[in-house]
């Protein structure tokens, strides 16, 4: 963010602050008092911040978590840009409207992505998860709170991706970390060239999962691209300016020690 602000000659700063749970309310009051245009929330504050702000954007209300707060003349609105960052990446290669989407995982990233895709017009979403309770809960949430049809599929053995899937997403932490050889327990022979295959992991940008999908002729989306788009969305919410994504991509790559 700092590099993008500098590249755009913007008089903004992006700083990191460690805030203890018991100090969250004071930190928010201080941010307002100092005229901050907004801030990000990471764990453990993504849910705790909700009763301390004035309102929620539609997707944040459904997701039940906030990662970005916007200060509009003292009124604080909570956004969840995790899923919005993915959606921006998806729209670069495919319109989400009327698509069938398969999501592996049922954690925070899966939740945000499922809700955003549903609100963007996805026709059907399948949640695949090891824990039936979490998978069923997420599927029920999306099915009841959005126009999309959403179902849960158990993940007890090697999973075959349905042939009519348009978008397939790894929203788990499997494959995280440079040099990781871990990948999803999925039959990659079931991936078809018409599919868009994505991974939320930014490091490494080319996971084993994405490498396999690319070898099958699929269009791939990296987690690094999702992260850059998320940062760009945050910056636009706070400054009203479209930040230079190329600058952020370069800086994030350097932070992760990436060459790709």
Burial of 37 (0-12, 13-18, 19+ CB in 10 A): middle
Burial of 168 per CB tally in 10 Å (0-12, 13-18, 19+):
buried
- Cβ atoms < 10 Å from Cβ of 104: 27
Strands (E), the chain: 38-40, 55-56, 68-72, 75-79, 100-104, 124-129, 149-154, 167-170, 196-199, 219-221
Catalytic hit among 20, 46, 94, 97: 46
d(CA 248, CA 229): 9
Q: How many whole angstroms separate alpha carbon 255 and alpha carbon 35?
A: 29
Q: In what order do the strands lie in the sheet with 68-72?
A: 38-40, 68-72, 75-79, 55-56
Q: Say how many C-beta atoms besides its own lie within 10 A of residue 228's C-beta.
A: 26
Concerning whether 245 is annotated as a catalytic residue, the answer is no
Q: How is residue 159 annotated by DSSP?
A: B
Contact 60, 80 (CB under 8 A): yes
Residue 147's closest CA among 193, 176, 116, 109?
116
Q: For residues 8 and 6, what is the distance between their CA atoms, to the nearest angstrom?
A: 5
Q: Which residues are catalytic, by number?
A: 46
């Amino acid at each position: 963010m700092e590099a993008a602000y500098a590249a755009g000659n913007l008089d903004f700063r992006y700083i990191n602050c460690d805030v203890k749970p018991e100090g969250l309310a004071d930190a928010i009051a201080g941010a307002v008092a100092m005229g901050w245009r907004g801030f990000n929330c990471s764990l453990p504050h993504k849910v705790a911040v909700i009763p301390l702000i004035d309102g929620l954007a539609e997707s944040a209300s459904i997701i039940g978590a906030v990662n970005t707060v916007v200060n509009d003349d003292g009124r604080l609105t909570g956004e969840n840009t995790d899923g919005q960052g993915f959606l921006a990446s998806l729209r670069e290669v495919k319109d989400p409207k009327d698509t069938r989407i398969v999501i592996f995982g049922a954690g925070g990233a899966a939740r945000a992505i499922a809700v955003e895709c549903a609100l963007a017009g996805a026709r059907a979403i399948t949640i695949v998860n090891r824990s039936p309770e979490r998978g069923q809960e997420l599927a029920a949430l999306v099915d009841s709170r959005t126009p999309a049809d959403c179902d849960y599929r158990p993940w007890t053995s090697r999973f075959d991706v349905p042939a009519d899937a348009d978008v397939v997403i790894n929203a788990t932490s499997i494959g995280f970390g440079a040099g990781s050889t871990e990948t999803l327990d999925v039959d990659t022979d079931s991936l078809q060239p018409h599919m868009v295959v994505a991974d939320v992991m930014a490091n490494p940008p080319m996971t084993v999962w994405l490498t396999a999908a690319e070898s099958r002729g699929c269009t791939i989306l990296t987690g690094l691209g999702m992260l850059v788009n998320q940062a760009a969305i945050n910056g636009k919410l706070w400054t009203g300016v479209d930040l230079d994504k190329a600058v952020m991509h370069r800086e994030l790559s350097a932070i992760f020690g990436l060459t790709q």
